[in-house]
Every structure is written in C-alpha cells, then in structure tokens.
Structure 1
Amino acid sequence: MNYALFIARKIYNGGDNTQKVSKPAINIATIGVAIGLAVMIISVCVVLGFKHSIRDKIVGFGSHITVANFLTLQSSEQYPIVINDSLTKELKTIPGVKHIQRYAYTQGILKTNSDFLGVVLKGVGPDFDSTFIHNNMVEGVIPRFSDTENQQNIVISKTIADKLKLKVGQRLFAYFINKQNVRTRKFTIAGIYSTNMKQFDAQVCFTDLYTAKKLNGWEADQYSGAEILVNDFLQLDPISYDVLSKVKNKVDHYGETYSSENIIEQNPQIFSWLDLMDMNVWIILALMIAVAGVTMISGLLIIILERTQMIGILKALGSRNKQIRHIFLWFATFIIGRGLIIGNIIGFGIIFLQKWTGLIKLDPQTYYVSTVPVEINISLIVALNLATLLICVLVLIAPSYLISHIHPAKSMHYE
C-alpha cells in the first residue's frame, strides 16, 4: 500500500489519537471548497440556460441561416427571390442542415373599432416548423397555414392583443399599403402567443404564405426567402459558409441576386451581449477557485504546524521530506473531495429547485424570460469538479515545502 496515502487516511479518519487535527481548520477549508464549487455550478448552469433560452427565441422567429435577396439583407425593405424545389434540394444536401422552409414578410395595419397598430405579417406555409410558437402559445391554436389559398387566419402576440383588446375568435380588418393601392383583408384570430421578446412580440404576426405573397404582388415562385435550421448550433459557421458558397452571386430568372446571413450576423447586438456573459462566468470561476485555494492553503499550514511533532517523529524514523509532503497533500485531497461532494449537493439542489419551481423570477421586459433559466451540462460540471480538485492540489504544493524546514530534534520540544 502507498505509505503516504495510508498515513493520510489514518489521520483523516482519526486513527492517530496522540494529537487531534484542528477541526475548525478542516471545516473552514471544506466550507470554502463547497461554497466555491456550488457558486460555480450555479453560475455555469444559469448562464447556459439564459444564453440558450434567448438564442432559441431569436431563432424561433426566424432560423439559423436565411437565404434571401441581397437587397433585402442590406436594407429593411422586402425584395422577392425565387425559391424553387431545385434550390431547396440543393441546400438540403449540405451536411448539418436540418430543415428548410419558405417565408414571406409584408407590412400592414391591424384596425379595430377603437384603435389601430402597425405590424409585420410573416407568411408561412405547410413546411413551417411551428414548434417554437406552439411552445409559447397562451391561448387558441396554430392553424394549418397554406401556400395555395387564403384561409383568413392570423396568430398574434399577447402584446398586440392587449394593445388592441383582442381575443381568440375575434375578426378584425388589416390594411396593406403598396405602390399601387390600399388592400384590405379580414382575419380571424386563431391563436395568441407570448415569448417575452419585446422587439418581436410588439410587431410579428403569422398568417398564410399565400396571403403574404399576394399582398406583396409577387409571382407564384417568389418569396422573401428560405429559412434554414441546422442540427448543431456549434457548427453554424461552417454550415453558413457552405450555404453562402452555393447561393453567392447566383441570379434568378427575374434578375434578383441571392445571398445569405446567419442569425448571429442578423442580430449582432444581442449575441455580443450574450457573449459578455461568458466573461462574467470566467471572472466568477476565477474568484471562487481563488477563495477555495486560499482557504485550503490556510488550512494546510495550520494542520502542518499542529502536526510538527508528528513530522519530527516521521523524519527521525527515516521518512523523507517528499514522503511527508505527500502525506499532507493526500490529507488535503480528502478535505477537497469532501468539499466537492457537499458543493455538488448544494449546487444541484438549488439548480433543480429553480428548474422545477421557477422560484426566482425576472422581469421579462428586461431579461426576455420570466424566471431564471437553468441548463445542466454534465460534462462541463464534471470538468469543473476535476479542475477545482487539480488547481487546489497544485496551489498546495508550494506551502507543503514548509515541512522541509522542520528539524526532528527541535520539533520534539514543540508545543
């Protein structure tokens, strides 16, 4: 058996009764490691949950990658582009592409007897992935949108419904102004959604793809563009490059030029804001590991000083400085391990409590979510535990050299 490990285990388990290890030093060191790890786990889970919640909401209103008219991507105006079956089949061959759907935007005014509001209608068809809107529905249902006929259904946000005092099942008029004339359509409110994304909820409504195209006066094969969803967000950049390489400088039979952008390029401010959170997490991790390291150094020094006589006896019996240092490093590892176990229990306990109960609330107008979102990533938490253990042990190597300055003869008279 390993000599250093055997002695360390005896000391930790209280097998050496000649002199008790200072309980306060051990408890303080254990608490320091536990609190540090718990804070790190909570920080990582909250930031991951927050980033992915916001990212999924932005993607839900659009897609990971958008193929559209070059002029559309450079301005706020809508210019049509041909999205035919041959193009969609070509885009589907790109590795990592999960889904492709056509869409069309048009601007209009919703009017009731007492009020009116400017909105953006997004026309979607049978290929529309409604998972995101379905998960955020608060009332009504999502109708089966068509690309061949006007079914006169519309899905609006709770923000719009509150402003215009609308309810599911109500009928309302919408007015659309283009270069030629003013067009009027009558819609029935099929459903109401709420995502807490103020800039989207305040203006985006969903209706039939056929309706949006007709209101724009476009041809049957013209759309605002195609939205592409990918399997892995981490592979967004290479997939975006592949999509751009297939459509760049391509011109349809109406003379319109294709281009593409990914969701990060379309919303740089939001994603820059989310990236700042990573810096905050790194700062928290550094501070918590520093706290754990300092408490462990203090605890180790106290334990070494308290065990001066034992160190002297071990040296007199022939133990080398290296062996004795290993004894105390193993002893510190046991303390760190106990702290990690307690820290995991505290951290996971708080995370699961928030995940199941939504105990901590947020202002959705500011943070885009109504409760603090959490996401558990086991691989990251395991790496966090291993990194904490490794760093804490490494910072203890230098203080352990204090043992080299303890002389056997002098230590016998140490009290």
Structure 2
Amino acid sequence: MPPEPGHTPPGISGGADDGGEPAPGLLKRLRSRLYVILEAGRTSDWPSQVFDFFMVSLILANAAAFALETVVSLAAAYGPFFKIFNLVSVLIFTIEYAARLWVCVEHSEHEEMPSWRIRLQFARTWPMLIDLAVVLPFWLGIFVPLDLRFLRVFRLIRFLKLGRYSPALSSLARVLYNERHAITGALIIMGGLLLLSATVMYELEKDVQPEVFGSVPAAMWWALATLTTVGYGDVVPVTVLGKIAGGMVMIFGLGMFALPIAIVSAGFAQEIHRREFVVTWGMVARVPLFSKFDALTIARLAEHLNARVVEAGTVIARKGEEADAMYFLLSGEVQLDFPDGPIKLEDGAFFGEMALLYQRRRAATITALTRCSLLTLQSEDFARFMRGHPDVRNTVAQIAERRLTELRQRSEAEAERQEAERAQEAHPASE
C-alpha cells in the first residue's frame, strides 16, 4: 500500500528552522534530503552509499598520505601534491561538519527544541567533537603560529572518523564502555598476578641472579614476558624452585588473557544482538501501519521479523502458492499481478496479509520492480502475534477488506468494459 499523502520520510521530523519559523519549501526539502544522506542513511539510497564510500576512501587516503609524507624522498618529490591534497581534504571535512550541524534539526526526537539548542547539543557529541578536532587545528594554524609537528599529529585524528562509518568500531567502543567495570576488575587481577609472580621469582632467584632478579621491579620484566607468553628468553630462572614457579606462571598467563578476552567477546556478541534488534525495531517503526502503535507492541513484533533484500526482477511469491509469510516493504517497489491488472506498492507498504488472514493460496504473483528491503513475518508468527494483539489484527483486516473491495470494483469495471466491447462488436453485425 503506498504511503499516505503527506507521510513524512523516515527519521525526518519536519522541525522548524532557526527562530522556530518553518524553512522555505525548497530549503526544507534540501535539508531533509541531506539529512537522509548524512545522518539517516538507507541501504537502498545510492547517494548515501556513494557518500559513505567517498568519505571512507578519503579518510584512508589521508592516513596513507600522512605515512608517505614521512618518507624523505617522497616528501621532496611530491611535497606540493601532499599540501594540496591536505587542503582539499580539510575543506571537504569542514563542509561536512557544517552540513551535519545544519541538518541535525531533522532528528525526530528533537522536534520540540529550538534549533540553536539542537545544534549546540549535537555539536557536543563525540563524533562531532572528533570532526571538529580534525579541522580546527588547520584553521587555527592560519591565524596562530603553530608547530607543524603539532599539526601533523592532529592529522592522525582523521582516522577516528572511520568510527562514524563503521558499525563494528562503534559497537566495539560501546562494548568497552559497557564492560568497563568488568575489564577494570580483570586488569586489577592481571596487575596483582604480575606483582605476585615478580615477588616470588625475586625471593627464589635473587641470590643466584642478582643482576636480573635483584629487585621486584627488575623481576617484573621476566614476569611480564612470561605472563604474556612472549618469553624472550633473555631472562630465565636457573634454580629448580624457580623453574617450577616459572612453569606455573606460564600456565597462569594463559588464563590471565583469557579472562578479559572472554569479557569483551561476550559483550560484543550481546551488543551485536542488541544492535540488530534496535535496527529491526527502527525499521518496523518506520512502517506507516505501526506508526500509531506503542513501543512495546513494535518491540514484540520486531522479535519475529527477519530482514531480507531482493534484487530487481525477483519473484517474491507466486500465484497459487501456499501462503507462508507476510511482507513489509521498507524500500523499493513491488508489483502484484492480479488477473484484473497489476498493483504497484512502494516504501512503507505491506502485502501478503490477505492469504494469511483468509487462509487461502496466493491470489497474485509478487515481483520486485527494484532492489527491495523487506521484513518478513512467517505465518506461524503472524497467527500468534495477531491473536495476542487484536488491535493490530483489526487494522490489518480493515486494510485487507478495503483492498478486496477495490479488487472487486476493478473486476466489475473490467467485466462491464468487456461486456460493452462485445456489445459494440455485435451491434454492427446485427445491422
């Protein structure tokens, strides 16, 4: 079912411009479009994909240029090129920073706040602070004399911008923050084990090897190399008790690193699962059918949905097949080929519900006209969810009845048209 007239694009609030006055129509549409490209992002939106690919490539190219500039021969031969590339990069990063500040008022959760406050709050987020740190030293260097080595070090911050375009890096950062207490505990245990190992080895080896085990701090080098399983071999125990203690420290070293690794890996798995759920929840909330339902209902539905991407020309379901799922169209276009003519559906529509509601076979062949992002609800989950949420079932049933009525009207109109054509063809013959 096509989106209702006046339906606001996902993630766009239609907030006010500076001063609370609505932005001019063209300017508003431009800002909304830039918001989708810069902040919202959609898998099927090719300008967003092109922008993300370009920015990631530019960041990686800056990191490579920083490293190549340290080669004396390359710096002498291509110095002007490196300077021009750096200037162009800073200009692009500055325009990106300003554009993000401009479009941030489109965030739906901020629609009740004044624009200046939204931008101030958005500028204080970590991604925006990193973006500011990337460009600010360059512009300050124009007006304030700064050490070039200082500016060169700040160029490394550009690499941190990858966190904005890499969900894995941002997920890892959240895992480290969420598990900070457990990781701190593991580090304390590791530090205690390091001190204990060095102290034991000091007591056992200090008289035999005073030059390497003459103090606890000196013995810590051996303990650190052994616990990390590096084992350089430059310092080794020579007494029997020292060798026994050294073997036990090696075994403890394996468990010492297994502890924080297990904490991080478990947290990372939970974060990935949470992120997939949040993404699915957000996609479900964007479907107009569920826009009026409460968050708990949407969250319960999201647990049963599976994401699916199909290419243009793919047959999603065939006429006469057993109905096994209901589909929600997040992006793209599909065509339902009924006997009385095709029906096209766009973003936000859903289909396949009539066969499940009335427990019958598919009445139409469903084909993807473009690359489509879908959410599928299997028939068993559909029946279970509808039983538990009669309000959702009533809404879906009303839309299904309206569609059936439209199909009957189309069928009757087509039958009348064919009857009129037959009568027109038979009239000359009767004369």
TM-score, scaled to structure 2: 0.22
Q: Which structure ranks higher in relative contact order (CA pairs < 8 Å, sequence separation ≥ 6)?
A: 1
TM-score, L = length of structure 1: 0.22
Which one has the bigger strand percentage? 1
Q: Which of the pair is proportionally richer in helix?
A: 2
